[in-house]
Structure 1
């Protein structure tokens, strides 16, 4: 038996036949290392070589997503061995990574969004006209009528006496239109700064009115021209009749 600390304790055991220099971490002094004598095939592949199982180039050795795919295809799961039950593995517990603050924030966001949606659809009256939200409003009024037994005057009219063909008012014209109309005396003095300021007509309305007036004037001129032509024909006929009456017959000598 050799003494501890002698040079024979640090001698390397002989390599098996066909052994090649490994390119992967390998401890020749570990008797549990079951590396084959020819080496693993992955030891002779460059890190940036094309992977056979993924078809992608591993440009970075820290690309854990590709490593995860490779391990899943190889059905290799690195599970730590159990300390209590030999030959079995430890069972990893699923940790709830969501904190109380994150749960509260998610719940607050969902409640706020759904609250605004439900309030906007069923409990808010957008306007007096028929639009995409009107059926939800009427459904809410029907439920309210069933629960309470009656409705007030406005809600009753909204539910039963609404005009589906009522036109939605147009967007008012810009203020500069009103100012220009006032400068050009298109709006009377008594119509400035009153409660109907948004109902004033603008340049578009003036152009349409001028077009209608022009069509009326053209029609009137055409009728007048036709009347003048007819009058001229009547005058010509009268002149011709007078000339014929003043003409002396050929058989009269005096």
Structure 2
């Protein structure tokens, strides 16, 4: 039994005349890379991951797609050659173009925003009504009571003696929006006065209510002025009566003789 020959022992057929050692993959931008007449096999069978290209150099520098394909086929990376180590390339490092001032300003802005959000949610008392921030406010007061051991009367009332049925006062709707809601039959009915569609008043109702209160205040002021005038007139009348009585008594005493004692 004969042993099979090793691959090194097979004889290779000679290269055809005019054959040039290829610089695979072919670089069309390298003037020293002479292209043989029959071409390179890599030009006709490109990898499936790389788009098929014509193999001609890029004439227009704005044809970035073709440049990208060529660079990917060439496995070319734009790295400058090393000055210390021949045949090696310099290592490109990512440069942080942000200055320290920009980084500091970003950090300051983020910290301030987070601080304002936390302060507004947990530590700030927005109003006296039951709103969305009330549970956070009570949580803050409980922690404050545990740490400090006591609360001020106002904080104690906010924590324990608060009115749960108190609602947030609603702002009046603009007249245009209220009229639109009236046209759509969204106000003024029991069917529409539910938790989703509320019968909110408009600006015209606020103006009319202020007008009514103003008339009531004016009438009350007029009544108070009339009462004050009547009181002053009574005082004047009483003063005139007293002066008349005193004058009459003085005149009677002057007419009576001095020797009469009765």
Return the structure number with greater relative CO, CA threshold 8 A, min gap 6.
2
TM-score, length-normalised on structure 1?
A: 0.48
